[in-house]
Amino acid sequence: MILDRFRMDGKVAIITGAGRGIGAASAVTLAQAGADVVISARTADQLASVAAQVEAVGRRAAIVPADLSDLDAVAGLVDAARDAFGRLDLVVNNVGGAMPRPFMDTSPRRMEEAFHFNVSTAHALLRPAVPLMLENGGGSAVNISSAMGRVSGRGYLAYGTAKAALAHYTRLAAADLAPKIRVNAIAVGSVATSALDIVMQSEELKTAIENGTPLKRLGDPEDISGTVLYLASQAGSYVTGKILEVDGGIDAPNLDMGLPDVG
Do residues 39 and 61 touch, judged by C-beta distance below 8 A?
Answer: yes
159 is an active site residue: yes
Rg (CA), the chain: 18
Question: Smallest Cα–Cα separation from 119: which of 149, 80, 87?
Answer: 149
Q: In sequence order, what are the residues at sequence separation of 6 or more whose Cβ sits closer than 8 angstroms to the Cβ of residue 105?
A: none
Measured CA distances, 216 to 19, 21, 152, 190, 248 (Å): 28, 20, 20, 11, 8
Which residues share a beta bridge with 1? none
- Indicate which residue of 159, 169, 230, 238 is catalytic: 159
Rounded to whole angstroms, the maximal C-alpha distance in the chain is: 61
User: Could you give the 3-state DSSP secondary structure of residue 16?
Assistant: strand
Q: In sequence order, what are the residues at sequence separation of 6 or more whose Cβ sits closer than 8 angstroms to the Cβ of residue 52?
A: none
Task: Tell me the C-alpha distance between 113 and 116, whole Å.
Answer: 5
Active site residues: 159
